[in-house]
Amino acid sequence: MNDFLLNIVLVIPAILIAFTAKGWVQAKIAIKLGDNTPKAYGRDTFNPIHHIDIVGFIFMLIFRFGWTKPMQIDRRNFKNYFKDDLKVRVAGVAANLVVGFIATIAWVAFGTFAKGTNINIVIYNIILNIAVLNCTWFVLNLLPIPGFDGFNIIIDVLKNKSIKYTDFMQRYNLLIFLVLIMPLIGNSSILEIVVGVPGKMIFGFFCNIGLMIF
Note the pLDDT tens digit of each residue in 47-79: 999 999 999 899 888 877 888 998 999 999 999
Q: What 3-state DSSP class applies to 38?
A: helix
**For residue 15, what pLDDT is reported?**
95
| Burial status of residue 82 (CB atoms within 10 A of its CB: 0-12, 13-18, 19 or more) | middle
Least confident of 3-17, 68-82, 105-119: 3-17
| Residue 188 DSSP SS3 | strand
Q: What is the mean pLDDT of residues 90-109?
A: 97
CA pair distance 86, 126, nearest whole angstrom:
32
The pTM of this model reads: 0.92
Spatial contact of 104 and 134, defined as CB atoms under 8 Å apart: no
Contact status, residue 176 vs residue 182, Cβ threshold 8 Å: no
Mean pLDDT taken over the chain: 92
Report which DSSP code applies to 68.
B
How confident is the model at residue 1, as a pLDDT? 57
Integer Cα distance of 19 and 156 in angstroms: 22
